[in-house]
Amino acid sequence: MVPPDQIASHPLNEQIAFLKHAGPKATYICSVCGGAFQLALAGLLEGKRATTNKQFYRMITAMAPGSITWVAKARWVVDGNVWTSSGVAAGGDMALAFLAHISSPEIARAIRGGIEIPEVTEEEDVFAKWHGLV
């Protein structure tokens, strides 16, 4: 799981080096918010679809290297073994979808009900419009 970093500054070289080393061996890679920028710098989003924090979307997508298909209207995006979420709250939605993927929808639904988070789909993203991205 790659958390957000200080998006306006360059992430630590050691962190990017770690992601470059560990990422290709990982069964799954998940990022929340601006963590997608770190994945992009590590080359782990090359040729993939991804999303990131809507408030910083334009800055991140402009600064990110490589051939990445950025998805503006998405709570989270799944491309192969890589899962990226937009904002921090969307990271919770992605985590529950990921739990359903690796365990069962019933388990994820039970947890969702216990912590009282409404179920949403990947595409249910009101913040893309709110930030003027769509």
Q: What is the pLDDT of residues 91-116, one digit of tens each?
A: 999 999 999 999 999 999 999 999 99
Q: Could you say which DSSP state residue 73 is in?
A: S
CA distance 90 to 31: 11
- At 103 the pLDDT is 98
Q: Could you say which DSSP state residue 77 is in?
A: E
Half-sphere exposure of 11 (CA within 13 A, CB side): 23
Domain 13-87 sits in CATH at 3.40.50.880
65 φψ region: left (φ > 0), alpha (ψ -120 to 50), beta (else): beta
pLDDT tens readout for residues 55-67: 999 999 999 998 9
Q: Work out the pLDDT band at 3, boundaries 50, 70, 90.
A: low
- At 14 the pLDDT is 86
Q: Where are the domains of the chain?
A: 13-87
CA distance 131 to 109: 30
Percent of the chain with pLDDT over 70: 92
pLDDT at 9 over 60: no
- The overall average pLDDT reported for the chain is 92
Q: Could you say which DSSP state residue 23 is in?
A: G
Please tell me the pTM assigned to this model: 0.91
Q: Work out the pLDDT band at 21, boundaries 50, 70, 90.
A: very high
Q: Where are the alpha helices (DSSP H) in the chain?
A: 13-22, 35-41, 57-63, 88-102, 105-115, 126-130
CA distance 80 to 50: 11
Span 3-8, mean pLDDT? 58
